[in-house]
Structure 1
Amino acid sequence: MTAEFVRPGEKPRDDLPGRPAPFVLAAGEGERAHLFDQLFTVLLSGDETEGQFGVFTMEAPRGRAIPVHAHDDVHEIFYVLDGQVRVGIEDTDGAILDRVLTTGDFGYVPAGLKHSFRVESLRARTLGVSTGGFERFFAAAGERTEATAPPGAPVIPSPEQLGDAARRFRNEFHHDVRLID
């Protein structure tokens, strides 16, 4: 259960506060969503940071690379908590940075750059930080869940659902580009 400062007679909330307010989450808590073979857990949203940033985790088994994409006004970081994750990023000159990040490694994707990632180890867990609001893309593109592990079978959104989520969260897919071998 989410713990936050609670006034006498009020009960604690079981979700994020939705406004700038102190709160804590126990391990496994947050807003969870399945997308493809991944579990995303939003720990802090743009609602709590007045749109400045969002914080989330991603946990997944070894699998295929997520589709190459870019978001013009969203910066994104990856910090590998456990495992190995290959990150591919194309810079503004067209050069590709293709690197396997291991536990403790950090990666940064400035807004507007095409990027993709793939879990290389049996399982991996990352901490992500993005420009505020984008953290809710995963639930919009996939499905909300109460599960605390990646899905047993991949959650594949319909083209309409994925397209709608991409438009709402300013995420442009580049299916004709490959960044990771």
Structure 2
Amino acid sequence: MTAEFVTPAASDLPGRPVPYVLAAGDGERAHLFDQLFTVLLSADETQGQFGVFTMEAPRGQAVPVHSHPDVHEIFYVLDGRVRVVVEDGEGEKIDRVLTTGDFGYVPAGHRHSFRVESHRARTLGVNTGGFERFFAAAGEPTSSRMPPATPVVPSPEQLGDAARRFRNDFDFGARFIE
């Protein structure tokens, strides 16, 4: 007998390490600010090792400067242009506009920010396992496959709670992108 891939419901992930496939746009979706995040793979499916998500957004405001003491992040631009600013080990800012096909890496502990620079952009992100669920905790889970028409701005309490739970340290006083 030939084994088959699990095909979870459009908004669900298997929750355990089994082979599965998702159709385009499927996964755990959440709106946060002007962005749509779709989790494709979580710590639950990788025994805590890593998570994979997409982010789609129009040109907008920069994400607040933040860092993760023990979470590594990568950005791979699928479509569009995204400015990523990362502080290196000496406190110098590395400022790059990534275009389709470009890759960026933010090691744990480095302050960073990003902003969509084109009309619309899509990125693929990979992170240390568990952090991928920050977006739904800070924003709003959604069944929509599009970025929100009106930005989803969490209350300070909701954002603070999600930041504590998912190891995200915001520095609201810092400006990396004007």
Same-fold status (TM-score > 0.5): yes
1:49 aligns with 2:41: no
2:156 maps to which residue?
159
2:137 maps to which residue?
140
What is the distance in 2 between the residues matched to 1:122 and 1:40? Answer: 17
Q: CA deviation at 1:13?
A: 3.3
Cα deviation, 1:9-50, whole Å, max 9, x if unaligned, reads xxx531101010000000010000000000000000010000
TM-score by length of 2: 0.95
Q: Which runs of 4+ in 1 moved over 4 A?
A: none
1:92 aligns with 2:89: yes
1:28 aligns with 2:25: yes
Q: CA deviation at 1:177?
A: 1.2
1:114 aligns with 2:111: yes
* Uncovered stretches (5+) of structure 1, i.e. residues with no partner: 7-11
1:68·1:177 contact (CA, 8 Å) conserved in 2?
yes
2:122 maps to which residue?
125
- Please tell me the residue identity of whatever aligns with 1:107: G
Give the length in aligned residue pairs.
Answer: 173
2:78 maps to which residue?
81
Cα deviation, 1:48-67, whole Å, max 9, x if unaligned, reads 00010000000000000000
Q: CA deviation at 1:5?
A: 3.6
What is the distance in 2 between the residues matched to 1:13 and 1:120? Answer: 34
What is the distance in 2 between the residues matched to 1:89 and 1:56? Answer: 20
What is the distance in 2 between the residues matched to 1:153 and 1:180? Answer: 22
2:57·2:121 contact (CA, 8 Å) conserved in 1?
yes
SS of 2:149's equivalent?
A: coil
What is the distance in 1 between the residues matched to 2:106 and 2:63? Answer: 15
1:37 aligns with 2:44: no
Identical residues among aligned pairs (%): 77
- Please tell me the residue identity of whatever aligns with 2:134: F
SS of 2:164's equivalent?
A: helix
Considering only aligned residues, what root-mean-square deviation do their CA atoms show, in Å? Answer: 1.0
* Uncovered stretches (5+) of structure 2, i.e. residues with no partner: none
Cα deviation, 1:97-150, whole Å, max 9, x if unaligned, reads 011000000000000000000000000000000000000000000000000000
